[in-house]
Every structure is written in structure tokens, then in C-alpha cells.
Structure 1
Amino acid sequence: MEETNVSLKLLIDTESQRVLFAEADKNFIDFLFHILALPVGTFIALLTKQGMVGSLGNIYESIENLNATYLQPNLNKETLLKPKVHISGGGAGVPLLLPNVESSSTSSKKWYRCSRTYHSACYSYVTNDSSAQCPSCSNYMNDNVDFVDPSSTTNAGSSSGEGGYVKGVVTYMVMDDLVVKPMSTISSITLLNRFNVKDVGALEEKVVDLGIDEGVKLLKTSLRSKNVLTDVFLPMLTVEIENVM
């Protein structure tokens, strides 16, 4: 993932003290969608065991404390405690808003087949370890194979090169509970009616910038709240106002 400036334009109802929705560009939407690609172990490591709701943190701590003697000889604890996010296609170019998230492209891995590729029974097996033995003939599987990323072939004739998950020519609307949809004037007016906003003068726009701290807060809050934008950003804006005064 690459570090990118990410910002949101919040529409705040100052009377009810809540964020009605936010205007966001491609960068923020890519970040939100990429959360779904994170392994559970990455979540726990980011939020710390003490900050986890429920008992998943205890599983993480159990693995940390378990003597390597009890693990399978080919298993490294780090595989479970610090899993890499395997990216294929869309994940490339996502803003770096979460710390210590290691990623590796599927296409950058090495893949191997049995050297007896002429044998149909051997040809059906593939591995990412050249020391593995073919289940069919027991020969070493050390014949290099090139991996083809579907996204690279699909976009081969495209000049876009945007990466990420969504297109950048669109402005997106992000609701307080992180529902995402394309932005439109009609949908904005409909939402104001739905939220029963009587005094348009009580609405205020605020632009907030997101860094790693805000990314982690947003991730943590999204696991326990239906009012994510309000819970994350209103306290921050209140502190800024108090500091100015």
C-alpha cells in the first residue's frame, strides 16, 4: 500500500451533534474496502489485545505464549501472529492508513510444478515451495511457473493505472454507519428529509484529514458502533475548537 493524503468533508448537524454523512473521494473508499481483506490476526495486532471486544485477543496471546515445541515443525508463529495481506489486483495502491500491515502481491510469489510436466497426473499439482515433493511421483516440484494476475491482463490495454477498488472520477457518500454509495444532489436532499433536519442553518461542513491514528480509530470503532464517523471525528473536532479558544 502507498501513503496518500486522505481527507473527508463531513456534514455535521450541530443541533443533534452527529455526522449526517461525508463526501469522500477514491482514496478513502479504497481504504474502507481494503479493511475486508485484512486477516483476523492483523486486526488483533492493530487494536492490541486489551482493546479487543470478546475473546479473540486471548487466542492471540495463547499463541504468543505457546512454546514452539508444541507447534508443527514447518509452522512459524509469525504466520499466525503477523499474517501478510495477500493482494491481487485491487489492493495495489490503497492508502497506507494502518501501521505494520505487511502486504505481498500474489503475482510476486514463486510457483512451482513437478519437473515431470509431461505426466498428466503430476501436471495438476502446484506449490509455492520448490522443496515440496509431487504427490504423484515424489519428484521435487522445482519447475518454475509464471503466475498470471487477472487484473493485469484485464487492464493491459487500459491507460487508467489507478489501482485500488473504485474509480476516481466519482465523489462518494459515506454514511455515519459506513454505508457507501455514489454522491448525488438528490440523495443528499433525501437524506436531510430522512434525518428530519428542520434548520439547514444548523448544518456545518468540516474537512478532516486522516492519518494512521485516525485509520486505527476508525477500524476499532467500526467493530462496535453504528455511528462510526460521529464517534471518531466529533471528539477530534471538539478538541481542536477548545485548543483554538
Structure 2
Amino acid sequence: MAETKVSLKLLIEQKSQRVLFAEADKSFVDLLFSIFTLPLGTVTRLLRKQNMAGCLRSLYKSIENLSDIYIQPDQDKNFLLSPKVANISGAKVPLLLASVEQSGTDRKIYGCGGYNNCQYVANDPRAICPSCRNEMATEQSYVDYPPKDTNASSSSEGGYVKGVITYMVMDDLEVKPMSTISSISLLTKFNVRDLGAVEEKVVDLGMHEILSLLEASLQSKTVLTDIFLRNNTDKEEKIVLTHVILQNDTDKDE
């Protein structure tokens, strides 16, 4: 099955090669907002194969490599390495969460089996009920609220924002509703007088670009420019440099 992609229209100032802002629909804004549902352990797991800055990758690896004999018997290091994603009913952004273990309808909670009318629940079947001291190994049913089949109060679109308008996404990922006035104000702010110097470019984001966006959002205030312009420029410079090196080697051989 082909990879699902999200599209984005960039407005680029050609002279400075920077993204002024982007026009985005609901799918991209939902994608951005879903970043805040990811626990830090999940972010580190997703980015550990990238050029992740800082020490979190080393810390993650140390937990991964630490023998279970050093872990408390009532703890599981997988809760740190693969924490559950925050459950927000109806807010599904499968493109970003495709490689993240889902929570929500598959969330499991456990009780002690109803002995002595105990009301305690746990997220681990190894837990001991503080009331009757029985093992809490009986799986309970988890119910989302509000229910997913609610009517007027729940949108059939899912996600976080409404899909009836276009959104403006700044280079630093600030999001606001799109309008003609706001677009003109931004062009004035960036001192863009020649509209002919502004280029429109539609880009598609797959999982690779999304992980790059997630990584850049932790390190940069010019995320869109870094991902869609500077990365391409770096690749072109490497190609030119490689060609020059090969040409010099050829000249030496002659």
C-alpha cells in the first residue's frame, strides 16, 4: 500500500531562500498539534536513528541496554522506552503515529476481580490491590469519553481543528487561520515589495519528512526553511563538491 502523504504549499522568498509562511489544511495542522501527544520517550525512540542533538539518545540507549536485574521488580523499563501516547478521543493522526504504539481503544486496565467490592484499578496486571491484597489481573473495559458515536458535539472529521478553512503556518510553526489581510501584513513585515520574487511550491510530507520536522522543531526556529530549502541546498553542494573532487583526481591521473 502506498505511503500516505500530507501536502503543504510554501511561499518562498527567492532572493533569501527562506520560507515566509505556508498554506496548510486540516491534515497538516492536526499533524503538528499531535506532536504534543507524544511522550518524551516516544520522541526519542522515533528520532534515535536521526542526527538527534543532545544526550537523550544516549540516555535512551542506556535504559535499553540495562539488564533487568537492575530494574525494580514492580517496574518494567518498556514503560520508559515505549510509553503510551496520550489518548484524546476522536483525534486520530495516523501519519505521525504510524510507528507509535497506539493507546485509546486498546488501552488496558486491570482490577482484582471484584473481591470485597474493591474499586481500585491498575495499568499492570502484576499490581496488588491495596484493599484485599489480591493480584489485579482481571482485565477491565476501558470506555472513551466522549463516546466516539456522539452526534452534534463530536465531529466526524476527527483530529484537532476544523477542516473548513485554510491555515497559515509560519517558519517557526506558529499556526493561525489564513486570511488575505494576514497574508498582506506578513509580506509587509518581511519587506517583500516584489511579488514576482515570491515563489509558490507544493511539497509532500511522508514519514521521513515528518520525522525531520519533529527533529527540527526541537532544534530550530526556521523549521520549514531548514527541511525544504536548506536540506536540498546541502545535497546540491555535496554533489558539486564530489564532482570537483573526482575531476581533480582525474586531472592528477592524466
Fold match (TM-score > 0.5): yes
Deviation at 1:42, TM superposition (A): 1.6
* Matched residue, 1:163: 158
Q: Distance in 1 between matches of 2:141 and 2:65?
A: 39
Where in structure 2 are the equivalents of 1:79-90 lying within 5 Å? 79-90=79-90
Letter in 2 for 1:156: T
Q: Would you say the 8 A contact 2:105–2:143 is kept in 1?
A: no
Closer, same or farther in 2 for the Cα pair 1:146/1:82, shift >3 Å? closer
More deviation, 202-211/164-173: 164-173
Deviation at 1:234, TM superposition (A): 1.1
Structure 1 residue runs of 5 or longer lacking an equivalent are none
More deviation, 186-195/96-105: 96-105
Letter in 2 for 1:79: F
Closer, same or farther in 2 for the Cα pair 1:33/1:142, shift >3 Å? same
Letter in 1 for 2:144: D
Largest Rg, 1 or 2: 2
Q: Would you say the 8 A contact 1:114–1:126 is kept in 2?
A: no
Deviation at 1:236, TM superposition (A): 5.6
Alignment partner of 1:225 out of 216, 220, 223? 220
Closer, same or farther in 2 for the Cα pair 1:202/1:237, shift >3 Å? farther
Q: Would you say the 8 A contact 1:49–1:61 is kept in 2?
A: no
Q: Would you say the 8 A contact 2:91–2:159 is kept in 1?
A: yes
* Partner SS for 2:34: helix
Q: What is the aligned length?
A: 235
Deviation at 1:218, TM superposition (A): 0.7
Q: Would you say the 8 A contact 1:24–1:172 is kept in 2?
A: yes
* Matched residue, 1:46: 46
Q: Would you say the 8 A contact 2:108–2:141 is kept in 1?
A: no
- The CA deviation string for residues 141-192 of structure 1, in whole angstroms up to 9 with x for no partner, is 4666443322326x61137421111111121100000000111111111111
* Matched residue, 1:193: 188
* Matched residue, 1:10: 10
Structure 2 residue runs of 5 or longer lacking an equivalent are 240-254
Q: Distance in 2 between matches of 1:87 and 1:174?
A: 25
* Matched residue, 1:151: 146
Where in structure 2 are the equivalents of 1:16-165 lying within 5 Å? 16-48=16-48, 51-92=51-92, 94-97=93-96, 100-105=99-104, 108-112=107-111, 115-116=114-115, 118=117, 122-123=118-119, 125-130=120-125, 132-141=127-136, 145-152=140-147, 156-158=150-152, 160-165=155-160
Closer, same or farther in 2 for the Cα pair 1:77/1:49, shift >3 Å? farther
Deviation at 1:16, TM superposition (A): 1.7
Q: Distance in 2 between matches of 1:21 and 1:222?
A: 15
Where in structure 2 are the equivalents of 1:233-244 lying within 5 Å? 233-235=228-230
Deviation at 1:81, TM superposition (A): 1.9
- The CA deviation string for residues 55-95 of structure 1, in whole angstroms up to 9 with x for no partner, is 22221122122121111224333332233324231432x04
* Partner SS for 2:111: strand
Deviation at 1:131, TM superposition (A): 5.3
Letter in 2 for 1:215: I
